[in-house]
Structure 1
């Protein structure tokens, strides 16, 4: 499957899917501790940021202050596609919701406040509907 670049097609076909887990952002000095399997890592000068399931962070005694849900946009977006991140973040911002976006090779993943995950999913579904349906 080829990665999609057209913004209209990306939005109309994004098919947001809510992961039932709870995720947290934390940071460590050095490598990730044994027993944790982060879904995202970011190396920063201050330390290694880990995004992982809350239960793993709790078991490892890692501190965090933000609990998120993960929404995956199921369309295969091209890494050089223009506007998808801005459109989805803008839609959620208009509803007063934060959004931390991580681009994977195949999909974009949105981390939103856990307590508002269903609301975020509904907002993204409305954005997809407004963008039109994909041709057959």
Structure 2
């Protein structure tokens, strides 16, 4: 099934969903440890960055600084769609909410500061309603 690329449809139908838990960004010196179950993995020259559940990082003694909430935009966005990330990030920035975006094949995923989770979801729901 092809993803949606119309920006108005993407925004009006994005249905932001707050996933349970708290998530942290960790940078590793080498490979991802066996058994670690990252939500996101990014290969960087300095070593892999992983986003994992905070409990998992704590259990393995992995250092982190940023504690995030994970919001999934429940609309199948096309990877070639233009403007969704910009519109979402701009609206959250206007509310003083930081946002780290990861695009999956089916959905876009936002990591916002844990303390801002509910406010971020409300802001995104308002943005969606404005497009209907």
| TM-score scaled by length of structure 2 | 0.98
CA distance in 1, matches of 2:91, 2:59: 35
Answer yes or no: is the 8 Å Cα contact 2:31–2:47 preserved in 1.
Answer: no
Secondary structure, counterpart of 1:63 in structure 2: coil
Secondary structure, counterpart of 2:69 in structure 1: strand
Answer yes or no: is the 8 Å Cα contact 1:23–1:70 preserved in 2.
Answer: yes
User: Alpha-carbon deviation of 1:106?
Assistant: 0.3
Ranges in structure 1 where 5+ consecutive residues have no aligned partner: none
Number of matched pairs: 132
CA distance in 2, matches of 1:126, 1:5: 20
| Residue 88 (structure 2) pairs with residue 88 (structure 1) | yes
Ranges in structure 2 where 5+ consecutive residues have no aligned partner: none
- Tell me the equivalent position of 1:12: 12
- Tell me the equivalent position of 2:53: 53
CA distance in 2, matches of 1:130, 1:68: 26
